[in-house]
Amino acid sequence: MIIDVLTLFPEMFDGILRTSILGRALQAKRLSVRLVNFRDFSTNKHRMVDDYPYGGGTGMVLAPDPIVRAVEDVVAKTPGVRRRVVLLSPQGRRLTQDIVEELAGLDHLVLICGHYEGFDERVRTLVVNDEISLGDYILTGGEIPAMAIIDAVARLLPGVLGNEESARRESFSDGWLEYPQYTRPPVYRGLSVPEVLLSGHHGEIARWRRREAIRRTLLRRPDLVNWSALTQEERKEVEAIAREENLPLPQQIAEGGAPPADPEGEN
């Protein structure tokens, strides 16, 4: 996969691209990241890439020409592939694991990092076909969101992690947060590892992990649970855990937070 990052500060990526999993992925040629300073595409003699906004207002706006020309250049270098040109913007759809999986299925990803007061709207019109945000807060620029996307996408590329099962079992990979993890020693400061994990019974361990992943999600991120998408078995598990923890069921949260129904009582 090829990722082009259009940025005014390519040096910000030095550390993340040289270390750990991303560094190894680049060395093994599982991934290629090209840093493009779109200031190089400015035709202004002072290499300016921003200007005052029409209509007045504070701050500066990124001009369309350097960015559009930079996008056209990287697209021309990578023809005939599955591609997405992404504007990193607080106006974009919030990044989720489902979106990461979409992006990981592409051949070419172009990430445009903004600064100042945003982009001339014609950038969106002419070259962008997606917008992504990390969340509902403001950052200085698009470089940190770009780093997050590169890291998340790289983990899903074949051969990057070395253990494909590891990626499948992580938080969000199946809609649930990850179950609690333990390692040696079996007792630490009076806290013991759950007996089932020491039993060697793989079926019981798998069931415990599934149940605790659901429990952790209901306790910490019930907003992640899509009730209509759950299997019948998952619904039963959710209902049982909700009763144990005295929690509302996911569909009841949306309806006002009613407590879970008593299965022995009336409807």
pLDDT at 265: 42
pLDDT at 29: 93
Question: What is the CA angle 200-204-205, rounded to 5?
Answer: 65
pTM of the model: 0.85
Residue type, 19: T
**What would the pLDDT profile of 184-235 be if each residue is shown by its tens digit?**
999 999 999 999 999 999 999 999 999 999 999 999 999 889 888 899 999 9
**What would the pLDDT profile of 128-167 be if each residue is shown by its tens digit?**
999 999 999 999 999 999 999 999 999 999 999 876 645 5
What are the CB-based long-range contacts (under 8 Å, 24+) for 247-252?
Answer: 247/218, 247/219, 247/222, 248/222, 250/218, 250/222, 250/225, 250/226, 251/227
261 lies in some domain: no
Are residues 130 and 228 located together in one domain of the fold? no
Which residue shows structure tokens 């996911």?
250
| Binding site per annotation, positions | 114, 134-139
Are residues 122 and 207 located together in one domain of the fold? no
CA 82 to chain centre: 20
Are residues 143 and 26 located together in one domain of the fold? yes
CATH number, position 205: 1.10.1270.20
**What would the pLDDT profile of 94-129 be if each residue is shown by its tens digit?**
999 999 999 999 999 999 999 888 999 999 999 999
Domain residues for the domain of 100 are 2-156
Could you give the angle at which helices 143-154 and 97-104 cross, rounded to 10 degrees?
A: 70
* 51 SS3 class: strand
| Binding site per annotation, positions for S-adenosyl-L-methionine | 114, 134-139
Are residues 16 and 134 located together in one domain of the fold? yes
